[in-house]
Amino acid sequence: GVQKDRQDQAAVGWEYQTDLSKHESQTDAAKGFGGKYGVQKDRQDKSAGGYDDMEEVKPTYRTQRGPAGQASNIKAKFEKMASEDEEATRRVEEEERRRREREERAELTRKQRE
Protein backbone atom coordinates (compact mmCIF):
# COMPACT_ATOMS: atom_id res chain seq x y z
CA GLY A 1 0.00 0.00 0.00
CA VAL A 2 0.84 3.61 0.12
CA GLN A 3 2.68 5.08 3.08
CA LYS A 4 0.38 7.87 4.19
CA ASP A 5 3.06 9.74 6.13
CA ARG A 6 5.35 10.03 3.09
CA GLN A 7 2.63 10.93 0.54
CA ASP A 8 2.73 14.32 -1.22
CA GLN A 9 0.29 16.70 0.44
CA ALA A 10 -0.96 17.96 -2.96
CA ALA A 11 -1.66 14.43 -4.20
CA VAL A 12 -5.29 13.33 -4.28
CA GLY A 13 -6.93 9.99 -4.87
CA TRP A 14 -8.93 8.70 -7.79
CA GLU A 15 -12.21 9.45 -6.05
CA TYR A 16 -11.48 13.19 -5.84
CA GLN A 17 -13.45 15.40 -8.26
CA THR A 18 -12.88 19.12 -8.64
CA ASP A 19 -15.69 21.56 -9.32
CA LEU A 20 -14.59 23.63 -12.30
CA SER A 21 -15.73 27.21 -12.35
CA LYS A 22 -17.66 28.24 -15.44
CA HIS A 23 -16.45 30.89 -17.85
CA GLU A 24 -18.13 34.27 -17.45
CA SER A 25 -19.80 33.84 -20.83
CA GLN A 26 -21.52 30.74 -19.43
CA THR A 27 -22.65 32.31 -16.18
CA ASP A 28 -23.95 35.75 -17.19
CA ALA A 29 -26.03 35.99 -20.36
CA ALA A 30 -25.40 39.73 -20.55
CA LYS A 31 -21.68 39.14 -21.14
CA GLY A 32 -19.56 36.83 -23.19
CA PHE A 33 -19.37 36.05 -26.87
CA GLY A 34 -22.27 38.16 -28.01
CA GLY A 35 -24.39 37.16 -25.06
CA LYS A 36 -27.87 38.44 -24.50
CA TYR A 37 -27.08 42.09 -25.15
CA GLY A 38 -24.33 41.79 -27.74
CA VAL A 39 -20.65 42.64 -27.53
CA GLN A 40 -19.01 43.53 -24.27
CA LYS A 41 -18.72 47.32 -24.38
CA ASP A 42 -15.53 47.53 -22.31
CA ARG A 43 -13.67 45.31 -24.79
CA GLN A 44 -15.04 46.85 -27.95
CA ASP A 45 -12.77 48.64 -30.40
CA LYS A 46 -13.14 52.42 -30.07
CA SER A 47 -13.50 52.91 -33.83
CA ALA A 48 -16.08 50.14 -34.20
CA GLY A 49 -19.65 51.17 -34.88
CA GLY A 50 -22.76 49.36 -33.82
CA TYR A 51 -25.87 48.45 -35.73
CA ASP A 52 -27.50 51.73 -34.71
CA ASP A 53 -24.68 53.73 -36.32
CA MET A 54 -25.17 52.25 -39.77
CA GLU A 55 -26.51 54.33 -42.61
CA GLU A 56 -28.57 52.98 -45.42
CA VAL A 57 -26.34 51.32 -47.95
CA LYS A 58 -26.57 52.86 -51.39
CA PRO A 59 -25.59 50.72 -54.33
CA THR A 60 -22.67 52.09 -56.31
CA TYR A 61 -22.99 49.48 -59.03
CA ARG A 62 -25.53 50.09 -61.75
CA THR A 63 -26.50 47.32 -64.09
CA GLN A 64 -26.15 48.27 -67.69
CA ARG A 65 -29.11 47.42 -69.80
CA GLY A 66 -28.83 46.74 -73.47
CA PRO A 67 -31.25 47.93 -76.09
CA ALA A 68 -34.82 46.77 -75.72
CA GLY A 69 -35.61 43.46 -77.36
CA GLN A 70 -32.05 42.23 -77.17
CA ALA A 71 -33.14 38.75 -76.10
CA SER A 72 -35.16 38.30 -79.27
CA ASN A 73 -32.18 39.55 -81.28
CA ILE A 74 -30.00 36.86 -79.71
CA LYS A 75 -32.60 34.23 -80.59
CA ALA A 76 -32.74 35.52 -84.15
CA LYS A 77 -28.92 35.44 -84.38
CA PHE A 78 -28.80 31.79 -83.31
CA GLU A 79 -31.59 30.86 -85.72
CA LYS A 80 -29.74 32.67 -88.52
CA MET A 81 -26.51 30.84 -87.66
CA ALA A 82 -28.34 27.51 -87.77
CA SER A 83 -29.90 28.26 -91.15
CA GLU A 84 -26.52 29.42 -92.54
CA ASP A 85 -24.97 26.14 -91.38
CA GLU A 86 -27.74 24.19 -93.08
CA GLU A 87 -27.25 26.18 -96.29
CA ALA A 88 -23.49 25.66 -96.19
CA THR A 89 -23.87 21.88 -95.80
CA ARG A 90 -26.46 21.87 -98.59
CA ARG A 91 -24.03 23.73 -100.89
CA VAL A 92 -21.20 21.33 -100.07
CA GLU A 93 -23.44 18.32 -100.76
CA GLU A 94 -24.58 19.84 -104.07
CA GLU A 95 -20.98 20.47 -105.16
CA GLU A 96 -20.02 16.93 -104.17
CA ARG A 97 -22.93 15.53 -106.17
CA ARG A 98 -21.96 17.57 -109.27
CA ARG A 99 -18.34 16.43 -108.99
CA ARG A 100 -19.41 12.78 -108.79
CA GLU A 101 -21.71 13.20 -111.80
CA ARG A 102 -18.86 14.76 -113.81
CA GLU A 103 -16.55 11.90 -112.85
CA GLU A 104 -19.21 9.34 -113.83
CA ARG A 105 -19.77 11.05 -117.22
CA ALA A 106 -16.05 11.17 -117.82
CA GLU A 107 -15.80 7.47 -116.97
CA LEU A 108 -18.70 6.61 -119.33
CA THR A 109 -17.18 8.56 -122.20
CA ARG A 110 -13.82 6.80 -121.67
CA LYS A 111 -15.54 3.39 -121.73
CA GLN A 112 -17.48 4.31 -124.90
CA ARG A 113 -14.27 5.34 -126.69
CA GLU A 114 -12.62 2.03 -125.95
Tell me how far apart the alpha carbons of residues 66 and 74 are, in angstroms, rounded to a whole number: 12
Residue 50 makes CB contacts below 8 A (sequence gap 6+) with 38
Would you call 114 helix, strand, or coil by DSSP? coil
The answer, yes or no, to whether residue 91 has pLDDT greater than 70, is yes
The answer, yes or no, to whether residue 104 has pLDDT greater than 80, is yes
Q: What is the pLDDT of residues 37-81, one digit of tens each?
A: 555 666 667 777 767 777 777 777 777 766 665 667 888 888 999
The per-residue pLDDT for 40 is 64
Q: Where are the alpha helices (DSSP H) in the chain?
A: 24-27, 70-113
The per-residue pLDDT for 106 is 93
Q: What is the pLDDT of residues 5-44, one digit of tens each?
A: 888 888 888 888 888 888 776 776 665 555 555 556 666 6
Q: Which residue has the higher pLDDT, 98 or 72?
A: 98
Q: Which residue has the higher pLDDT, 52 or 108?
A: 108
Half-sphere exposure of 88 (CA within 13 A, CB side): 6
